[in-house]
């Protein structure tokens, strides 16, 4: 598993979507939060948002953690492929 997914997996396992959202708000407003520390501000917000997406898939769609992580990766690849200039 890629290293960046480890923190997303850990956050999604530990916190509810509401708690993750509160951590995002704390990070944006104060530059710190209790969910994820010791990273660059932009990376923290991005990882928290990804973890919130994964946790929501788990709770609302009934996906397992591996399934939710695969769906996150699929959607990220889709966005990345659309962002690349066509040749």
Please report, rounded to a whole number, the percentage of residues in the chain having pLDDT higher than 70.
91
pLDDT, residue 87, reads 54
pLDDT, residue 86, reads 56
> pTM value?
0.77
Task: Find out whether 8 and 50 touch, Cβ atoms under 8 Å.
Answer: yes
Task: Find out whether 20 and 33 touch, Cβ atoms under 8 Å.
Answer: no
pLDDT, residue 74, reads 94
pLDDT, residue 13, reads 93
Nearest to 69 by CA among 42, 45, 82, 50: 50
pLDDT average, residue stretch 35-60: 90
Length of the chain, please? 87
pLDDT class for 83, splitting at 50, 70, 90? low
Q: Is 39 helix (H, G, I), strand (E, B) or coil?
A: coil
């Amino acid at each position: 598993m890629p290293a960046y997914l480890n923190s997303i997996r850990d956050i999604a396992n530990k916190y509810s979507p509401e708690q993750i959202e509160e951590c995002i708000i704390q990070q944006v407003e104060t530059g710190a939060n209790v969910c994820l520390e010791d990273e660059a501000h932009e990376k923290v917000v991005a990882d928290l948002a990804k973890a919130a997406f994964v946790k929501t898939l788990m709770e609302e769609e009934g996906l397992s953690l591996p399934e939710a992580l695969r769906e996150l990766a699929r959607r990220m690849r889709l966005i990345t492929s659309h962002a690349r200039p066509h040749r």
